[in-house]
Amino acid sequence: MYLEIKFKTCWLAIGMMLPGLAIFSSNALTSSELSGEIKKEKVMPSNYSVNVLDKNNKPISNVIVEFHLLEPVSRDNDKLAIMDQIEEQFAPHILAIEKGTLVNFPNSDNIKHHIYSFSQAKSFEQGLYEGKQAAPVKFDSAGIVDLGCNIHDWMLGYIYVADSHHFAKTDINGHVSLSIDNAIKSITVWHPRMQEKTKRLTIVPALNQRDLAFTLENKMLEDTEGYESLSIEVYP
C-alpha cells in the first residue's frame, strides 16, 4: 500500500510538473476556459447549468455532459491523460477526454494486466507489466470506449472521447455548469449505467435556454461499485 501511494503521488507530481497536460481530474475537465482558444469572432460566453436526475428524480453523479457546437472548431490537441491500474481497477472508472488526446496506461499494481477494448471508437489491446511503461494510446475518434482486462475480468473502465473540450462530469448533486464561448447545437449526457432508448440522451436547447435538466425515463443498471471496494486474494 505504501508503494502504491508512492506511485499515485508520483503520477500526481508528474501531472503537476506538466501544466496543461494532466487532465485526469474532473476539475481539469470542467475548465474549458483554461484550455480553449481565444476566438477572433468572440461571442459573449454563455453560462450553462445542467442537472441530471434519475427516474426517481435523484441526482446522478459522474455523468458526462457534452456540449456540441453549432460550428465545430478543429484545433490541435497535445493533451496527455492517464488511466491508471490501481488495486486491479481502472482509475478513474470514467475518464473523459477530448478527441485526439493521448492516454497513458500506467500499472501501479505489482502484477500484470492485459487491457483491451472492442469499442468502435477505439479498439486496441495492451499488455501492462510491472515496472514497464507501455506506449500511450491516441484516441482520435469521438465515442465511448469500454475497457476491460483479460486477466482480471472484474476490471471495467470507460473513456469518453468528446468531439471538443466542452464537456464536464456531474458532481454529487448531478450538476454541471460550464461557460461556452460558441453557439451550441445540442447537449448530450451519458453514463455507463443508463438504459435509455439511445446510448446518449440529447437535448437541443432553445435559443436563450441556459438551465437544462435531464431526467432519465428508465431505471439505471444496478450499481456494481462494490467490485471496487473490497478485493479478496484470488488464484494468480
Partner 1 sequence: MNSISASIFLSLLIFGMPVSGASAVSGASAKLEASAKSQINHDVSGIIQVGLVASSNLVSFLNSGTGILRHDNNGLILQQGILQIDSDWTSAFSSKLVFNAYTDGDQHIGPSQIEIKYQPLLKSALKYKVRLGIFYPELSVENTDIGWLSPDTYQQSAINSWFGEELRIFGIEGSLFKSGRRTSTPWSWDAKLGLYKGNDPLGSVIAWRGFASHDRQSLFAERLEFAPYPSVVSVDGIDHPAWVEPFSELDSRVGAYLGLHLNYLRRTEFKYYRYDNLADPNVVNSQRLYAWRTKFHSFALNHQLNRRWQLKSQLLYGSTMMGDNFVHVDYFAGFLQSTAKLNSRNKVTFRLDVFDVAEQDDIPVDVNTSFGHALTFNYQYQFSKLWRIGTELHINKNTAFNRANLGLSPKQYERQILLIIDYRL
Distance separating alpha carbons of residues 5 and 20, to the nearest angstrom: 23
Q: Which is nearer to partner 1, 29 or 216 (CB)?
A: 216
Nearest to 27 by CA among 162, 164, 145, 171: 171
> Quick check: 47 binds partner 1 (CB under 8 A)?
no
- Of 86, 142, 156, 184, the one binding partner 1 (CB under 8 A) is 156
Q: Which three cell numbers stand for residue 107?
A: 500499472
Show the CA angle centred on residue 71, arms to residues 67 and 73, nearest 5°. 85
> Quick check: 137 binds partner 1 (CB under 8 A)?
yes
Distance separating alpha carbons of residues 84 and 203, to the nearest angstrom: 33
By CB neighbour count within 10 A (0-12 exposed, 13-18 middle, 19+ buried), where does 189 fall?
Answer: buried
- Beta strand 123-128 with 211-215 is unpaired
- Of 36, 92, 148, 174, the one binding partner 1 (CB under 8 A) is 148
H or E stretch covering 26:
helix 26-30
- The residue behind cell 441530471 is 52
> Quick check: 172 binds partner 1 (CB under 8 A)?
no
Q: Which is nearer to partner 1, 70 or 230 (CB)?
A: 230
Stretch that binds partner 1, among 21-29, 91-99, 130-138, 207-215 (CB under 8 A): 130-138
Q: Which is nearer to partner 1, 44 or 135 (CB)?
A: 135
Distance separating alpha carbons of residues 97 and 62, to the nearest angstrom: 14
What is the contact mask toward partner 1 in residues 75 to 104, using x (rule: CB under 8 A)? ------------------------------
Strand ranges across the sheet with 175-180: 175-180, 46-53, 211-215
H or E stretch covering 34:
helix 32-35
Q: Which is nearer to partner 1, 54 or 181 (CB)?
A: 54
> Quick check: 108 binds partner 1 (CB under 8 A)?
no
CB of 50 to partner 1, least distance (A): 25
As beta bridge partners, residue 104 has: 82
> Quick check: 227 binds partner 1 (CB under 8 A)?
yes
CB of 17 to partner 1, least distance (A): 24
Distance separating alpha carbons of residues 121 and 74, to the nearest angstrom: 18
CB of 216 to partner 1, least distance (A): 15
CB of 56 to partner 1, least distance (A): 18
Positions that interact with partner 1 (CB under 8 A): 1-3, 110, 112, 114, 116-118, 123-127, 129-130, 132, 134-135, 137, 148, 150, 153-156, 193, 221-222, 224, 226-227, 229-236
